[in-house]
């Protein structure tokens, strides 16, 4: 005995589910990008500490390291 179970959703519900899925993926990418950027800045802070006796060359190296950080891995 075979049971035929069909679930039909209105078009509006299908569109809403699709929009929510796309927003979910976009938000995950955004959160991942922010985490990646924050980790890069933490790494720069550890490699190039800021102190009272910082030379201009060290400042330039820190600025270059910060500018190389990106939200995209």
pTM of the complete model: 0.73
Residue 65 falls inside a structural domain: yes
- 68 falls within a domain: yes
CB 69 within 8 A of CB 40: yes
Q: Does 22 map to a domain?
A: no
At residue 14, does pLDDT exceed 80? yes
Q: Which domain holds residue 63?
A: 32-73
Question: Residue 37 has which token pair?
Answer: 């950027």
Whether 25 maps to a domain, the answer reads no
Number of domains in the chain: 1
**pLDDT of 23-72, one tens digit each?**
999 999 999 999 999 999 999 999 998 887 888 899 999 999 999 999 88
Specify the residue for token string 């030379």: 55
Round to whole Å and give the CA distance between 16 and 35: 28
Is 51 part of a structural domain of the chain? yes
Kindly report, residue by residue over 60-69, the tens digit of the pLDDT: 999 999 999 9
**CA 28 to each of CA 6, 18, 25, 66: distance values in angstroms, whole numbers, following the listed order:** 32, 15, 5, 24
The CA-CA-CA angle for residues 51, 52, 53, to 5°, reads 95
């Amino acid at each position: 005995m075979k049971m035929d179970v069909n679930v039909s959703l209105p078009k509006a519900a299908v569109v809403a589910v699709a929009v929510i899925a796309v927003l979910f993926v976009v938000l995950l990418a955004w959160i991942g990008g922010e985490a990646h950027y924050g980790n890069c800045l933490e790494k720069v802070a550890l490699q190039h500490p800021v102190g009272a006796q910082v030379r201009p060359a060290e400042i330039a190296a820190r600025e270059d390291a910060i500018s190389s950080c990106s939200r995209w891995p």
